[in-house]
Amino acid sequence: MQDRRICRLVVESLLLTIAACIVIFWPREVERAKPTEPTKSSVTVLKPSQADVLLRADKAKPKTDGYHPPHMVKVWTTRHKGRIFRVTQLPRCEHLEMLITYEPAGETLAQAKKRLGGVAACTGSFHHPRTMALADFLQRNGAVLADSRTDRCVVTDHDGGKLDILRDCSQIKGVPGVSALKLGQRLVPFYSDGFSTAFMNRVTDRMAIGLNSHFIFVVQGKSDIWRLAHFFKTKLPVSTAVNSDGGHVVRGKAPVHLVFRWKKPGPINTARAIAVDSHQ
């Protein structure tokens, strides 16, 4: 009994001691935690080059085509849909110039080619068969010699002296240094420009020009428009093609022709000039 009483006294003493400590050391005012100020996040703006490194992104580099067509003239004959076509392939580059000849009295295709030392030639625009008066647009170094009268395609040297085919003459008309000539029916992509169906169905001597990025194709044959257009579209790697004056012009005379020749070295860019006889 005595041991139990001693234990009770010890426990009561401990409880009193703990209670006294709580009363002595308990703070009179509970300090409230001060709200912390929001911290600003750190943002680093990367330069495009740094972002490319982090994201391992390839820089967008312009695609360059280093291919240059060989300086060769290739000629071959082939048959398509019962018609025979003679094809002349030329390089489309700054080393080959296109000359738009103009002889008011008229001359044959062979005469124009020989007179200018050309390696190939093609008939030009439409004209009056007796008076040789031009029937459509002709421009010489920015000067318009015959105004536009039809909705036909234009052959021009505006692309750095290289041959090009445009849908109309609005973007090059009157531009200094640019020569151009309206030809005929658009073959690739095919677009009707007012020719009658009877004219397009007629089988006659025809010539036409087609282009892609690196080559020029001059085609000659006895055909209607439909088969000539189909030949360009399916047998030649062209992105555009246009019919030129045909019929009697292929074997007869005309005031205007297209002559291709190697560019002569010198300060004058002859690719931007129309060849005119010195006596005119």
Q: What is the pLDDT of residues 179-215, one digit of tens each?
A: 999 988 899 999 877 778 898 999 999 999 999 999 9
Q: pLDDT-based confidence at 268, cuts 50/70/90?
A: very low
**Average confidence score pLDDT of the chain:** 79
Closest listed residue to residue 163, CA positions, set 232, 128, 212: 212
pLDDT of residue 19: 65
Q: Would you state the structure tokens that stand for residue 247, as one six-digit string? A: 């019929």
Is residue 253 within 8 A of residue 115, CB to CB? The reply is: no
Residue 140: how many other CB atoms lie within 10 Å: 19
Q: pLDDT-based confidence at 161, cuts 50/70/90?
A: low
Residue 57: how many other CB atoms lie within 10 Å: 10
Percent of the chain with pLDDT over 70: 70
Query: Does residue 177 have a pLDDT over 90?
Result: no
Query: Does residue 50 have a pLDDT over 90?
Result: no
Percent of the chain with pLDDT over 90: 40
pLDDT of residue 269: 42
Q: Is residue 145 exposed (0-12), middle (13-18) or buried (19+ Cβ within 10 Å)? A: middle
- What is the distance between the terminal CA atoms of the chain, rounded to a whole angstrom? 151
Instruction: Give CA–CA dist 255/102, Å, rounded.
Output: 5
Average pLDDT over residues 211-233: 96
Write out the DSSP string of the chain.
-HHHHHHHHHHHHHHHHHHHHHHHHS-SSPPPPPPPPPPPPP--PPPHHHHHHHHTPPP-PPP-------S--EEEEEEETTEEEEEEEEE-STTEEEEEEEEEEEEEHHHHHHHTT-SEEEE---B-TTT--B-S-EEETTEEEE---SS--EEEEEETTEEEEES-STTTTT-TT--EEE---EEETTB--S--HHHHH--EEEEEEEE-SSEEEEEEEEE-HHHHHHHHHHHS--SEEEE---THHHHSEEEEEEEEEEPPPSSS-GGGS--B-TT-
Q: What is the pLDDT of residues 100-156, one digit of tens each?
A: 988 888 899 999 999 999 999 999 877 777 778 888 899 988 889 899 888 888 899
Domain ranges of the chain: 74-131+186-272
